[in-house]
Amino acid sequence: EDKQRVKELYLKITRTIALITFPLIFGLFVTVKPFVMVVFGQKWIAMIPILQILCLLGIPQSIGTLNGNIYLSQGRADLQFKVSLFLKASVILGIVIGLHWGVIGVAIGYTIASIINFYPSISYAERLINMSFSELMRNLSGIFVFASMMAAAVWALGLLLPYTWPHWAYLATQIPFGIIVYLISVHVFKLKAYVDIKKFLYEQWHVRFTKTVGGLTV
């Protein structure tokens, strides 16, 4: 029973995190050039491909950060330590191999190793709460699809905007557009994570409203 409760809580938290982080990561991937130019300036233009590579890593890492909580909740910190040793070693190997191609090579090596590690790192933790990798993927698939569609729409909009526009104008146009497209999509199709957050926010508002009204009538 405890494992089932942990599993349900884990799935709920991961889809809530994904609902926010997936569109942010995908959005950054397609707007990275104006973002870097506006936030960091022309001298940082070389970091654009590096940041795009690391964006690919952001998807699994935003979910994988919860693995440690599963190990601890099931009293298996020993297994977490063993798995972490193996995963860290493979990441170091990826970085060392990437050194031959400079900074971009390091970013690619680190990203590839970390993405490859995503499955085993998740799988070992999931077994402790009787959950399969496919369950997690189904839990996140809708969010992944709509975040991808939003990014594609933002990228397409960027192609239509005048190339003479300054970079800040691109961001000022693409970011609100992406937010609107994404929110409309998850609202119309009633993604579970979106419904969960709406329900939570409504309950919090209702509690505060009730307390406020109750205080006024005393």
Write down the pLDDT at residue 217: 58
Write down the pLDDT at residue 34: 96
Write down the pLDDT at residue 74: 86
Write down the pLDDT at residue 207: 79
Q: What is the pLDDT of residues 66-124, one digit of tens each?
A: 888 888 888 888 888 888 898 899 999 999 999 999 999 999 999 999 999 988 888 88
DSSP states of 106-171 as a string?
HHHHHHHHHHHHHHHHHHHHHHTTT--HHHHHHHHHHHHHHHHHHHHHHHHHHHHS-TTS-HHHHH
CA distances to 33, 37, 48, 130, 155 from 41, in Å: 10, 4, 11, 49, 21
Write down the pLDDT at residue 33: 95
Q: Which residues of the chain carry a pLDDT beneath 50? A: none
Write down the pLDDT at residue 49: 94
Q: Is the dihedral of CA 195, 19, 152, 168 positive or negative?
A: positive
